[in-house]
Amino acid sequence: MTTTLGDAADSLLTTELSSWDESCLLDTWREVERLRNRLAAMEHRFVAEAERRGLPFTYGARNTAAFVRALLRVHPREAVARVAAASAAAPVTTLTGEVVPAPFPRVAAAQAEGTISPRHAQTIVAAVERLPDVVQVEHGARVEQDLVEYAEQFDPHQLGTLALRVTTLLDQDGTLADVAYRERHRDLTIRQRPDGSASITGEATAELAERLLTVLDALAAPRPAEGGVRDPRTAGQRRHDGLLDALDLVQRAELLPTVAGISTTVLLTASAEDWQTGGGVTTTGHGAILPTREAIRLSGGDTRVMNVDLDGHGAVTGHTDARRLFTETQRLALIARDGGCTFPGCDVPPAWTQAHHVIDHARGGPTTIANGTLVCGHHHRHHQRQGWQSVMRDGRPAWLPPPWLDPHRRPRTNPRYRTGADRTD
């Protein structure tokens, strides 16, 4: 048997696939996958036979999983999973010779035919076992059969969604218990590091997860290609930036409650000299220490920020007005003029933009329509690092590209949105 399997593998490994036509390639690939699935059913029999013979005890293993791990050199979790799969889908022969059918015979049959994968089988078994005993006795076989049929059409991820729907309909009380469990164990922990960054962990309720995913659907999508270059951010980085944009929108809406009588404010504390030169460090209201140049970049966003200047003795020498936001009337005027993010190539609509100071507010730029333009959160945060500069030309916003993109730095506008006299509405 071993020789036959080895010969078949050797033959396939040495075959020149480039000579095959497309139909032959795909048919063989599917057949290999079917054989891979059938191998799981074969292994179930090996596990069952090893247990019948008492081999784990004979070889001094603590249990069957430990024996499988040592024999096959697989990961401990993998060994446990294989033994669990065998116990669900392999018939057992007792010491008296009696054959006990597999607890999940339809799963076992489908695996023996190679029509479902081990992950499919694991999903089906877990779904049936989640049902209460009374429901499982009455409906377990039907659920198993239905899910096996679904598994022959859908991948394991889609099957998991279908399995959840099926078990929820049969066990609504259990689903409510799951909701209560998630409610009791909801949690959010933010561990801030000395440099101001943080790791975030937690357990979300279904409501929080759904709301967060809905917001990220709007704010974490890939940005349009700029200069033929796709958005370089990973999916995780886009979600990070999307959450940051959402928090910024909430803060700008001024709907948050006060804290100790003070409206929500990001406090950045630095010496007057450091703030002017961009050198040294700045301390945030939560005790994080940032490079001052990074704090200046942070304060340049359309957020409710108050900059406090201290002299060498720690005395306050000046501060900016925390009321630096564009008013509702000003934003409406910017929307009428700009129509959305004005950065070249960006299609973010007005509702998801921020009002940007063309001349940085931290550098004395006024909060006026003539010094403002709408920019999405991503370009608001990163345009300077990318070498772009916002300018006003004839009262309308434009952007100067970095020298590497255009050595002449000719102003660019966003063709998606009309400005000024270009509007007809």
Looking at the whole model, is its pTM more than 0.85? no
Chain mean position to CA 413: 32
CA angle 126, 128, 131 (to 5 degrees): 110
How many Å apart are CA 263 and CA 254, to the nearest integer? 8
CA distances from 245 to 250, 316, 322, 376, 416 (A): 9, 31, 20, 8, 22
CA distances from 385 to 113, 142, 197, 290, 388 (A): 57, 59, 19, 17, 8
pLDDT by position in tens, the chain (length 425): 556 767 777 787 888 888 889 999 999 899 999 999 999 999 999 999 999 889 999 998 989 999 999 999 999 999 999 999 998 988 876 667 777 788 999 999 999 999 999 999 999 999 998 888 888 888 889 999 999 999 999 999 999 888 888 887 777 666 555 666 677 778 889 888 877 788 899 888 877 787 888 888 888 888 776 666 788 889 899 899 888 888 877 766 666 655 444 445 666 777 777 777 778 877 776 667 778 777 776 665 444 455 656 566 556 666 655 455 777 788 888 888 888 889 988 888 887 888 888 888 767 778 888 888 999 888 887 888 888 999 998 888 999 999 888 888 999 888 765 544 444 33
How many Å apart are CA 49 and CA 143, to the nearest integer? 28
* Domains, in order of start, for the chain: 19-180 (no CATH), 248-322 (no CATH), 328-422 (1.10.30)
